[in-house]
Structure 1
Amino acid sequence: MRKVKMNVRGRVQGVGFRFTTKMLADELGIYGSAKNEDDGSVTIEAMGDDTPMETFIQRVKDSPSPVGRVTSCEIEENAPIVERTKFITD
């Protein structure tokens, strides 16, 4: 099980980014959470198998929201994140 914490910047708030990230996670069997931050970024905590996680990370970087735009994405591997059995948006 791979665990990552991502901080995504760009046009990621007010464009359905967290909702479409949840849809993507559900499609790929990824569990975790997505949360808006006060600085305009979105923090994603995700866990899942290696191959689906690679797909998830790449599609988040490409912005799952059609009107969103990711300008940077910091990824922390093996982050100490809360274990979840689904993907939620805060």
Structure 2
Amino acid sequence: MTSKHIVVQGRVQGVNFRSAAEDAANDLGVAGWVRNRDDGTVEMLVEGDDAAVDRMVEWARQGPSSAAVTGVDVTDTEPQGLESFEQA
């Protein structure tokens, strides 16, 4: 099991990013959460199977079609044993 903390920069708020991230996470079978930050970025914690988490990181690099991602910071974290993905 892998866990990653992801911060996405660009035009990522007000473009349905969190809802699309939740859909993508559910499709990939990963757990975690996504939320807007006060600085205009979107933050995610994603954990699960290594390959599925890697696919979620790749998804975050593009986001939904309405987003304009300019950067993604990814940090390895300790898995917390989360069982679902939700908007926080």
TM-score higher than 0.5 here? yes
Interval of TM-score (by shorter of Structure 1 and Structure 2): over 0.9
Note the residue ranges of structure 2 that are not aligned, 5 or more in a row: none
1:51-90 aligned at under 5 Å gives the runs 51-63=51-63, 65-77=64-76, 79-80=77-78, 82-90=80-88
Note the residue ranges of structure 1 that are not aligned, 5 or more in a row: none
Change (3 A) 1:36 1:72: same
SS of corresponding position for 1:47: strand
What's the TM-score, normalizing by structure 1?
0.92
Moved over 3 A (4+): 80-83
Tell me what 1:2 maps to. Answer: 2
Q: CA RMSD in A?
A: 1.1
Q: CA shift at 1:51, angstroms?
A: 1.1
Instruction: Find the aligned partners of 2:78 and 2:54 in 1 and give their Cα distance.
Output: 19
Name the count of aligned residue pairs. Answer: 88
The answer as to whether partners of 2:2 and 2:79 remain within 8 angstroms in 1 is: no
The answer as to whether partners of 1:32 and 1:83 remain within 8 angstroms in 2 is: no
* Deviation sequence 1:6-46 (CA, Å, 0-9, x none): 11110110000000000000000010000100000011001
What's the TM-score, normalizing by structure 2?
0.93
